[in-house]
Amino acid sequence: MKPQSHIQKMLGVFFAVSLILAACATPAPTSAPATSAPAATVAPAATSAPAATAVPAGPKKGGKVTLAVWQSPVTLNGLLGTQTVMNVVLNLVTEGMTEVQPDGTRVAALAKEVPTVQNGGVSADGKTITYKLKEKLVFSDGKPVECEDFKYSWQAIMTPNVGIVSTTGYSSIDTIDCPDPATVVVKYKAFFAPYLTLFNGSDLIPRSAGDPKGMKDWAHNRKPVGAGPFTIEEWKTDEFIRLKRNDKYREAGKPLLDEVVVRIVPSSEVAMQLLASGEVDIMWNNTEADTPQLEKMAGVKISAPLQIGGERLFLNMAENKDPSDPKKPHAILSDVKVRQAIAFGINKQRIIEKLLNNKAKPGSSELNAGYFECKSIQAYPYDAAKAKSLLDEAGWKPGADGIRVKDGNKLRLKYSTTSGNKLREDSQVLVVEDMKAIGIDMFIENAPSSVVIGTWDGGSPRRHGNFDIIMYTTNAGIDPHSQMVNLWSSANIPSVDNKGGLNYTRFNDPKADALLKQASGEPDPAKRRDMYCQLAQMTYDQANMIYLYQRSAIDSYRDKVLGFTSNAWSNTAYNAKEWSLK
Amino acid sequence: MGKYILRRLLQAIPLVILISMTVFLLMNLIPGGPLAAYESPGITPEDLERLKHELGLDVPLHIQYWNWLSAIIRGNWGTSIVSGRPVLTEITERIFNTLYLSIVAFIGSLLISIPLGVTSATRQYSKIDNLATTIAFFGQSIPIFWMGLILIIIFNVMIKNPNTGGPLLPGGGMSTIGSDFSFEDRLKHLILPASVLIFFNLGTHVRYTRSGMLDVLHQDYIRTAHAKGLNKRTVILKHALRNSLLPLITIIGLELPGLFNGALITETIFSWPGMGRLFFNSIDRADYSVMMGVLLMNAILIVLSGLLTDIVYGFLNPRIRFD
> How do the domains of chain A map onto residue ranges?
6-224+553-581, 310-550
Neighbour tally for A37: CB within 10 Å: 11
The pLDDT value recorded for residue A335 is 95
pLDDT at A39 over 60: no
The mean pLDDT value for A89-105 works out to: 92
Q: Which residues does chain A have within 8 Å of residue B267's beta carbon, measured at their own beta carbons?
A: 266
Q: Are B197 and B105 in contact (CB under 8 A)?
A: yes
CA–CA distances in Å: residue B83 to residues A216, A349, B89:
9, 42, 11
Q: Are the beta carbons of B36 and A17 separated by less than 8 Å?
A: no
Residue A270 has its nearest CB partner, among B90, B166, B172, at: B172
Distant-in-sequence, close-in-space partners of A74: CB < 8 Å, separation ≥ 6: A81, A83, A86, B80, B82, B83, B285
Q: Which of A17, A25, A486 sits opposite B174 (nearest CB)?
A: A25
Collapsed DSSP state (helix, strand, coil) of residue B111: helix
How far is residue B228 from each of residues B216, B219, B224, B241, measured CA to CA in Å? 17, 15, 6, 18
Residue B3 lies in a domain: no
Percent of chain A with pLDDT over 70: 90
Mean pLDDT computed over A282-306 = 92
Tell whether B60 is covered by a domain. no
**Residues forming a β-bridge with A449:** none
pLDDT exceeding 90 applies to what percent of chain B?
11
Residues of B within 8 A of A261 (CB-CB) are 177-178
Residue of A nearest to B274 (CA): A238
Give mean pLDDT, residues A437-458: 84
Q: How far is CA B34 from CA A315, A474, A498, B53, in A?
A: 28, 20, 21, 12
Three-state SS string over A428-462 comes to: HHHHHHHHHHCCCEEEECCECHHHHCCCCCCCCHH
Structural domain contains residue B315: no
Q: In the prediction, which pLDDT does B111 show?
A: 94
Split at pLDDT 50, 70, 90, the class of B42 is low
| Cα angle: B290, vertex B292, B297; to 5 degrees | 100
Backbone angles phi, psi at A166, to 5 degrees: -135, 130
Can you give the CATH number for the domain in which B146 is found?
1.10.3720.10
- Pairwise CA distance, residues A70 & A238, whole Å: 10
Query: Does CATH place domain A310-550 in 3.10.105.10?
Result: yes
Which whole number is the average pLDDT over B220-225? 89
Q: How far is A462 from chain B (nearest CA, A)?
A: 14
The pLDDT confidence band at residue A90, using thresholds 50, 70 and 90, is: very high
User: Which pLDDT score is estimated for A83?
Assistant: 81
Compute how many other C-beta atoms are within 10 angstroms of the C-beta atom of residue A510: 8
Which residue type occupies A395? G
Query: For residue B101, what pLDDT is reported?
Result: 92
Residue B129 lies in a domain: yes
Domain count, chain B: 1
According to DSSP, residue B235 is labeled I
Greater model confidence, A59 or A199: A199
Q: Which residues of chain B neighbour A455 with C-beta distances below 8 Å?
A: 33, 35-36, 48
Domain assignment present for B132: yes
What pLDDT does residue A27 have? 39
Q: Best of B30, B35, B39, B280 to disrupt the A interface by mutation (most A CBs within 10 Å)?
A: B39
pLDDT of A138 over the 80 cut: yes
Q: Do A21 and B103 touch (CB under 8 A)?
A: yes
pLDDT at A266: 82
As a whole number of angstroms, the longest Cα–Cα distance in chain B is 85
Comparing CB atoms, the residue among A165, A267, A269 nearest residue B38 is A165
pLDDT-wise least confident of A500-504, A526-530, B71-75, B315-319: B315-319
Q: What is the pLDDT of residue B72?
A: 85
pTM for the structure as a whole: 0.77
Q: What angle do CA B138, B139, B140 make, to 5 degrees?
A: 90
Whole-Å CA distances, B251 to A164, B1, B143, B313: 47, 23, 20, 12
What is the arithmetic mean of pLDDT over A448-459? Answer: 75
Residue A295 has pLDDT above 60, yes or no: yes
Cβ contact, residue pair A265, B80, below 8 Å: no
| Min Cα–Cα distance to chain B from A405, Å | 37
The confidence score (pLDDT) of residue A44 equals 37
The set of residues, in sequence order, having a beta carbon less than 8 Å from that of A453 and lying 6+ positions away, is: A418, A460, A462, A472, B36, B39
For residue A323, whether the previous peptide bond is cis, meaning omega lies within 30 degrees of 0, is yes
In a domain, B41, yes or no: no
Q: What is the pLDDT of residue A191?
A: 86
In this predicted structure, the answer to whether residue A135 has a pLDDT above a threshold of 80 is yes
Distance CA A110, CA A135 (A): 9
The model's confidence at residue A12, banded by pLDDT at 50, 70 and 90, is very low
**Residue B192, domain member (yes or no):** yes
ipTM above 0.85, yes or no: no
- What pLDDT shows up at residue A376? 95
- Using alpha carbons, list the distances in angstroms from residue A409 to A396, A398, A470, B245: 9, 11, 22, 71
| Alpha-helix runs per DSSP H in chain B | 2-29, 45-54, 61-73, 87-122, 127-141, 144-152, 183-217, 220-227, 232-234, 241-244, 246-261, 264-269, 275-284, 288-316
Q: Is the pLDDT of residue A54 over 80?
A: no
The verdict on B36 touching A (C-beta cutoff 8 Å) is: yes
Checking if the pLDDT of A53 tops 70, the result is: no
Are A267 and B96 a contacting pair at CB < 8 A?
no
At A571 the pLDDT is 85
Question: What confidence tier does A22 reach under pLDDT thresholds 50, 70, 90?
Answer: very low
Q: Given a cut of 70, is residue A279 above it in pLDDT?
A: yes
Scanning every residue of chain B, which has its alpha carbon at the shortest distance from the alpha carbon of A268?
Answer: B269
Partner-chain contact A14 B278, CB within 8 Å: no
How far is the C-alpha of B174 from the C-alpha of B97, rounded, in Å? Answer: 8
- Chain centroid to Cα A184, Å, comes to 28
DSSP 8-state symbol, A119: T
Of residues A471, A557, A280, the one with CA closest to residue B166: A280
CATH class of A6-224+553-581: alpha beta
Angle formed at CA A518 by CA A514 and CA A521, multiple of 5 degrees: 150
pLDDT tens for B78-120 read 888 777 788 998 898 889 999 999 999 999 999 999 999 999 9
> What chain B residue is nearest to A244 in terms of C-alpha separation?
B178
Whether B111 has its CB under 8 Å from any CB of chain A: the answer is yes
Res. A503: pLDDT tops 90: yes
Q: Which residue has the higher pLDDT, A475 or A427?
A: A427
**What does chain B come to in residues?**
323
Which pLDDT score is estimated for A459? 80
State whether the Cα torsion A450-A454-A458-A460 is positive or negative. positive
CB B64 within 8 A of CB B72: no
Residue B53's contacts (CB-CB under 8 Å, 6 or more residues apart) are none
**Average pLDDT of the segment spanning A376-393:** 96
**Angle in degrees, CA A385, A388, A390, rounded to 5:** 110
End-to-end Cα separation, chain B, in angstroms = 8
Strands across the sheet containing A128-132? A128-132, A183-188, A173-177
Query: pLDDT for A308-357, tens place per residue?
Result: 999 999 999 999 988 888 889 999 999 999 999 999 999 999 999 999 99
Can you say how many angstroms the Cα of residue B125 is from the centroid of all Cα atoms in its chain?
32
Looking at per-residue confidence, does A451 or A306 come out higher?
A306
Counted residue by residue, chain A has a size of: 582
Q: Does B187 touch chain A (CB under 8 A)?
A: yes
| Contact assignment for B108 to A14 by CB distance below 8 Å | yes
The residue in chain A having the minimum alpha-carbon distance to the alpha carbon of residue B286 is A450
Contact B132, B205 (CB under 8 A): no
B66 HSE (CA, 13 A, CB side) = 5
B260 is in which domain, residue-wise?
94-267
What mean pLDDT is predicted for residues A551-577?
91
Interface check for B44 against chain A (CB to CB < 8 A): the answer is yes
Which of B28, B58, B92, B100 is the best residue to mutate to test the A interface, defined by the most A CB atoms within 10 Å of its own CB?
A: B100
Total beta-carbon pairs less than 8 A apart between chain A and chain B: 211
How near does any CA of chain B get to the CA of A121, in Å?
25
Q: Which residues of chain A make contact with B145, given a CB cutoff of 8 A?
A: none
Measure CB to CB from residue B96 to each of A24, A221, A449 and give the nearest one: A24
Tell me if residue A404 falls in helix, strand or coil: strand
Rg (Cα) of chain A, in Å, rounded? 28
